[in-house]
Amino acid sequence: MSDDTPRFFAGGGVQVSAPGRVNLLGEHTDYNDGYVLPVAIPQRTYVQATPSADGRFHVYSSNLDESAEFTADGELPDGYARYVAGCIHVLRGHGIAVPPLSISLHSGLPMGAGLSSSAALEVAVLRALRQLLNLDLDDVQIAQYAQAAETRYGGVQCGIMDQMASSLADTGHMLFLDTRTLERRVLPMPANTELIVIDSGVARTLATSKYNERHAECREAARLLGVPMLRDVADMAALDALPPLLKKRARHVVTENARVLAAIVDGVDGPAFGELMNASHASLRDDYEVSVPALDTLCDMLRAEAGVYGARLTGAGFGGACVALCEKPRAAAVATAVTERYNRDRLLQLAGVLLPTPDAETELPQPLFD
């Protein structure tokens, strides 16, 4: 049993885990063949797999206390078990037979917070299958198969950032990734900084359909510009040829790629990195239109604190979490203060004291790590 295996897994079979990620810069660039800069987070998804005796696959989620079952050739289950079945189908598509298994899951990652809970699940399942079946798969292939499971069976036309981060990143470094070539560099965080991640508690309603809509808009913008992908736009002036909406979308992608490249230059310090994060958030809010008021508010609250260099939404947006870069000694106090203030304002809002409730959900956030 590995050191980080949760105590509730009884012994037997294989037990593995994979982390979530927080992306620092390079949002909505990966499906445009662009650049990304994620970091793994301490929260992980744990998987235990043992052979199943009855010829069926069984999946149990301890978070939900729910079970699902399916057969290799039958219909795919819904919900979390669909990602498990999707991974098995992808392996079969590569000629790898997977015998019936009983798979138990436990996740320390909040679902729908934009911290890659689905990628962590896919990567953990594929790691378990690699170990159990002695498969000759490297970590990049694991990420590629996990992405295939997500796009084919999860219904999201996602890029490969989350799966690469879950499969290859660690919690102490930024993983710079060129999503076209999969070239990557492991880089130190800016000196004397710490990350703060706070979940807004806003559920990502319509995230999948809006995400796929942005994906289609980018494809259309690239087609009109006559380039294979928006990564290939060399000159901002070229964007003037696009209709206004597509111009905004493309401008986000082009400027966001430039921000990632600016952030990985030697000697970029906390304040400079933070400026890039603030600019990224503005671009996601105004040009890409994937922010929501709660994320803007949370970023403003974070930026108002002494020691915070910058803050932005992280992940796909439409809800989910914010990430801030903070001067190291102040990070814990800032995380606590902002979470308390945000929760208090949100409680008032939910009670209808300040404004009509913009979002329906009520779960209040905790800082995820600092």
Report, as residue numbers or ranges, the catalytic residues: 162
Alpha helices by DSSP H, listed for 94-206, are 117-133, 139-149, 161-168
- Least separation in angstroms between CB 42 and ligand GLA: 18
Token duo for residue 175: 């993983």
Stretch touching ligand GLA by CB under 6 A, among 24-32, 295-303, 336-344, 352-360: 24-32
Task: Give the H/E segment covering residue 193.
Answer: strand 193-199
Cβ–Cβ under 8 Å, residues 212 and 238: no
Cβ–Cβ under 8 Å, residues 202 and 110: no
Q: Is 30 in the site for ligand GLA (CB under 6 A)?
A: yes
- The one-letter code for the residue type at 309 is Y
Stretch touching ligand GLA by CB under 6 A, among 20-28, 57-65, 303-311, 347-355: 20-28
Helix or strand or coil: residue 135? Answer: coil
- Least separation in angstroms between CB 311 and ligand GLA: 16
Q: Which is nearer to ligand GLA, 161 or 298 (CB)?
A: 161
Which of 28, 127, 251, 285 is the binder for ligand GLA (CB under 6 A)?
Answer: 28
Neighbours of 215 (CB within 10 A): 17
Which residues within the stretch 39-78 sit at the binding site for ligand GLA (CB under 6 A)? none
Can you tell me the distance from the alpha carbon of 359 to that of 340, in angstroms, rounded to the nearest whole number? 19
By CB under 6 A, the count of residues binding ligand GLA is: 11
Which residues within the stretch 315-354 sit at the binding site for ligand GLA (CB under 6 A)? 315-316
- Least separation in angstroms between CB 316 and ligand GLA: 3
Which of 15, 24, 31, 252 is the binder for ligand GLA (CB under 6 A)?
Answer: 31
Cα dihedral 300/302/308/313 (nearest 10): -80
Q: Which is nearer to ligand GLA, 13 or 112 (CB)?
A: 112
Q: Which is nearer to ligand GLA, 150 or 305 (CB)?
A: 150
Residue 61 Ramachandran class (φ > 0 left, ψ -120 to 50 alpha, else beta):
beta
Can you tell me the distance from the alpha carbon of 127 to that of 144, in angstroms, rounded to the nearest whole number? 12
Stretch touching ligand GLA by CB under 6 A, among 25-33, 69-77, 302-310, 353-361: 25-33
DSSP string, 312-333: EE-SS-SSSEEEEEEEGGGHHH
Q: Which is nearer to ligand GLA, 50 or 167 (CB)?
A: 167
- Least separation in angstroms between CB 317 and ligand GLA: 7
DSSP 8-state symbol, 25:
S
Q: Which is nearer to ligand GLA, 207 or 350 (CB)?
A: 207
Q: Which is nearer to ligand GLA, 143 or 198 (CB)?
A: 143
Cβ–Cβ under 8 Å, residues 275 and 50: no
- Least separation in angstroms between CB 113 and ligand GLA: 11
- Least separation in angstroms between CB 116 and ligand GLA: 6
Neighbours of 154 (CB within 10 A): 18
Token duo for residue 276: 């890039």
Which residues within the stretch 103-162 sit at the binding site for ligand GLA (CB under 6 A)? 158-159, 161-162
Stretch touching ligand GLA by CB under 6 A, among 22-30, 45-53, 89-97, 236-244: 22-30
Q: Which is nearer to ligand GLA, 177 or 233 (CB)?
A: 177
Of 199, 26, 9, 218, which Cα lies nearest the Cα of 117? Answer: 199
Summarize the chain as % helix, strand, coil (round to 5): 40, 20, 35
Which residues within the stretch 297-316 sit at the binding site for ligand GLA (CB under 6 A)? 315-316
- Least separation in angstroms between CB 59 and ligand GLA: 22
Can you tell me the distance from the alpha carbon of 35 to that of 282, in angstroms, rounded to the nearest whole number? 18
DSSP 8-state symbol, 150:
I
Which residues within the stretch 159-218 sit at the binding site for ligand GLA (CB under 6 A)? 159, 161-162
Residues that bind ligand GLA (CB under 6 A): 23, 27-28, 30-31, 158-159, 161-162, 315-316
